[in-house]
Amino acid sequence: MQCPQCREPMVIYELDGVELDSCLRCGGVWLDAGELETLGNLSGIAPGPLAAALMRVQKGKRGARRCPRCRRAMLPFDPADDGALMLDRCPRGDGLWFDRGELGLLLQKYSANNAEAAAVRNLLGNMFQYELGGNPGH
């Protein structure tokens, strides 16, 4: 699959049985439908609030990026309605696109406590160490 942002071929990572397609160039991540929920489960995050956030719809918005699976224009939406994150969703429900760092932020936002937040950091840490408050180096 191609990165919807820079059109580079993406690489596939596997985290505890969940496949993530990631772009090495821009650091974005594509998750097929259901994979985010699985990541949440692995981190012990309650599925309800996260699922509700992902159902949010921003009417009238149409994104510039295209779904890497079906090539339809994706729909940008703000999962927490607080301006902190703007994700893109395939209109057919193929999956979700996260810019660099957004996946970790979203999962941390829905962590109910420090233990869950730590589980998220652990899970994503190897792959996203820059994005979760680690030192990116210079």
Q: Let me know: does 19 contact 6? Beta carbons within 8 Å.
A: no
Least gap, CB of 22 to Zn ion (angstroms)? 9
Q: Angle 102-109/114-125 helices, nearest 10 degrees?
A: 160
Structure tokens at 48: 């309800």
Q: Which stretch binds Zn ion (CB under 5 A): 29-37, 39-47, 89-97, 104-112?
A: 89-97
Q: Contact between 107 and Zn ion (CB under 5 A)?
A: no
Identify the residue among 11, 16, 19, 25 touching Zn ion (CB under 5 A). Answer: 25
Q: Contact between 78 and Zn ion (CB under 5 A)?
A: no
Task: Please tell me the count of residues contacting Zn ion according to CB under 5 A.
Answer: 13
| Spatial separation of the C-alpha atoms in residues 128 and 83, rounded to whole Å | 22
Q: Is 104 helix (H, G, I), strand (E, B) or coil?
A: helix
Residues that bind Zn ion (CB under 5 A): 3, 5-6, 23, 25-26, 28, 67, 69-70, 90, 92, 94
